[in-house]
Amino acid sequence: MSHDVSRTHLWRPYTQMRGAAPPLEAVATQGSRIILADGRELVDGIASWWTAVHGYNHPHIAAAVADQLARMPHVMFGGLTHQPAERLAARLAALLPGDLDHVFLSDSGSVAVEVALKMAAQMWLNRGVSGRTKVLAFRGGYHGDTMGAMSVCDPEEGMHRRFGAYLPTQVFCDLPRTAAETEALDATLAAHRETLAAVIIEPLVQGAGGMRMHPPEVLATVANLARRHGLPLIADEIFTGFGRTGTLFACTQAGIVPDILCLSKALTGGTMALAATIARTEVFEAFWSDDPAAALMHGPTFMANPLACAAANASLDLFETEPRLAQAHAIEVRLADGLEDLRRVPGVADVRILGAIGAVQFAKAPDLAALKARLLDRGVWVRPFGDIVYLTPALTIGAADLDRLIAAVTRAVAEQAAVTA
């Protein structure tokens, strides 16, 4: 043991602590900028893991949280309710398509997925059907880091290899992009007819799995097949929700209404931990009974935290009063224009744009540390992973900052591709 425990007690995410480069110390944020302790100001290209859709420190959210903090920062949700949560649930139900009307609040995306999986499993039990214990998930997907969520992540790229023995075994398919893949999905659903409880998908974009996009028709195909086989569809919109793909929710681009939908990441505009699992009435009704054991068996301590609900309500206000979707569209146009040339750079395999997401894929995984350093040298905060470098800025980012991000990525990718090629 030679690491300096006096320097920090913090165990970092996805980081081999031994020999890890020290993280940069952030002291303040503003708009699309992160200010470091050493005085550097970075343009944030990823909006703090896709959360800060309105930019940092939006005064409307700050005021709503300050007001709530003075009144009631937290109160337990068992047996009690409060206006911030009541209002948020009603607004989400109104914004979401169809009868996605029943909102269960929790505190992180992974937990929202766990709740969705549990809802699907218990829905069958409550209907008197046993043995439906598996979920059909898609290769390339990412749904979180807790055990149940990990079990539906991509079986190769995800953490299955390390934790396989701990995880429930699920059923995996390719997204049905071709007629053959559609047939394969149909056949797999038929083959596991008796054991499947649900189908889970990230609509339109598989985010952390590699920014892989699929057209709305593919999502519609999945929804149709799930329906035909009598299975509830869980849409994990934790990444795609709140304007990221150009519409408020990705599902609406395919005209589908999933049975259960998960939200988190941008729900509070990047200020606080909050997540929601929202069910359609048919799912909710499976729990509506005189039997106490038929109740949904979940209840996080900080469920419906009033501060977080106040932040989420303020964030929804901003979607009503400020032109977020138009801004997402403007970003899409600028990203397409700015990143398109990289397609011709040797060593670049693909460039993908959807809404306020721009992703560049290398033919071979680059030296990530070197690439990160190149980006940092250009004053931008961008976090490439695997063979991907991507931009998911705040929807409010100014034109100059967006151009700086695009220029930095373009130059860094070209330099890195030249080294790797």
Q: Point out which span in 20-28, 80-88, 107-115, 407-415 binds ligand PLP (CB under 6 A).
A: 107-115
Region of 22-30, 79-87, 235-243, 378-386 interacting with ligand PLP (CB under 6 A): 235-243
CA dihedral angle for residue 404, residue 407, residue 412, residue 414, rounded to 10 degrees: 180
206: exposed, middle or buried (C-beta count within 10 Å: 0-12, 13-18, 19+)?
A: buried
355 binds ligand PLP (CB under 6 A): no
User: CA 328 to CA 247: how far, in whole Å?
Assistant: 8
The three-point CA angle 414-420-421 to 5° equals 85
For residue 305, the SS3 value is: coil
148 binding ligand PLP? (CB under 6 A): no
Look-up: residue for tokens 């068996």?
297
Determine which residue in the list 45, 55, 144, 306 makes contact with ligand PLP, applying CB under 6 A: 144
Residue whose pair of structure tokens reads 């859709």 in the numeric block: 53
- Which ranges in 100-178 belong to alpha helices (H)? 109-126, 147-151, 160-163
113: contact with ligand PLP by CB under 6 A: yes
Closest CA to 172 of 216, 217, 124, 206: 206
**Out of 138, 172, 239, 362, which residue is the one contacting ligand PLP (CB under 6 A)?**
239
Looking at beta carbons only, is 264 or 416 nearer to ligand PLP?
264
**Neighbour count for residue 366 (Cβ, 10 Å):** 23
Q: Residue 126 or 305: which CB sits closer to ligand PLP? A: 305
* Least distance to ligand PLP, CB of residue 275, Å: 6
Compare residues 48 and 126 and give the one whose CB is closer to ligand PLP. Answer: 48
Picking from 109, 37, 102, the residue whose alpha carbon sits closest to that of residue 285 is 102
Contact positions with ligand PLP (CB under 6 A) in 378-407: none
Of 207 and 246, CB closest to ligand PLP: 207
Q: Which of 44, 107, 154, 236 is catalytic?
A: 236
Residue 236 annotated as catalytic: yes
Question: Is 14 designated active site?
Answer: yes
Binding region for substrate: 49, 142, 265, 299, 383
Cα–Cα dist 70/33, whole Å: 28
Report if residue 238 touches ligand PLP, rule: CB under 6 A.
yes
Choice from 152, 198, 208, 283 touching ligand PLP (CB under 6 A): 208
32: contact with ligand PLP by CB under 6 A: no
Total binding residues for ligand PLP by CB under 6 A? 15
Spatial distance between the Cα atoms of 393 and 293, rounded to a whole number of angstroms: 45
> 58 is written with which tokens?
């939006």
We find the least distance from the C-beta atom of residue 277 to ligand PLP, in angstroms, to be: 11
Nearest Cα residue to 103 out of 275, 273, 232, 333: 275
| Binders in 262-291 for ligand PLP, by CB under 6 A | 264-265
Annotated binding site for pyridoxal 5'-phosphate: 109-110, 236, 300-301
Fill in the DSSP letter of residue 175: -
Structure tokens at 410: 């373009």
When asked if residue 245 is in the footprint of ligand PLP (CB under 6 A), the reply is no
Would you mind telling me the total number of residues written for the chain in this entry?
421
With CA atoms as reference, report the closest residue to 209 among 106, 359, 350: 359
207 interacts with ligand PLP by CB under 6 A: yes
- Burial of 321 per CB tally in 10 Å (0-12, 13-18, 19+): exposed
Taking the complex as a whole, the smallest distance from the CB of residue 203 to ligand PLP amounts, in Å, to 9
Tokens read off for 28:
């303040």
CA distance 320 to 318: 5
Q: Which is nearer to ligand PLP, 185 or 208 (CB)?
A: 208
Nearest distance from residue 63's CB to ligand PLP, in Å?
A: 25
Q: Is 202 in the site for ligand PLP (CB under 6 A)?
A: yes
The span of 171-179, 233-241, 320-328, 385-393 binding ligand PLP (CB under 6 A) equals: 233-241
Q: Nearer to ligand PLP by C-beta: 390 or 408?
A: 390
Site membership for ligand PLP, residue 258 (CB under 6 A): no
Residues that bind ligand PLP (CB under 6 A): 108-110, 113, 142-144, 202, 207-208, 236, 238-239, 264-265
Q: Which residues are catalytic?
A: 14, 142, 236, 265
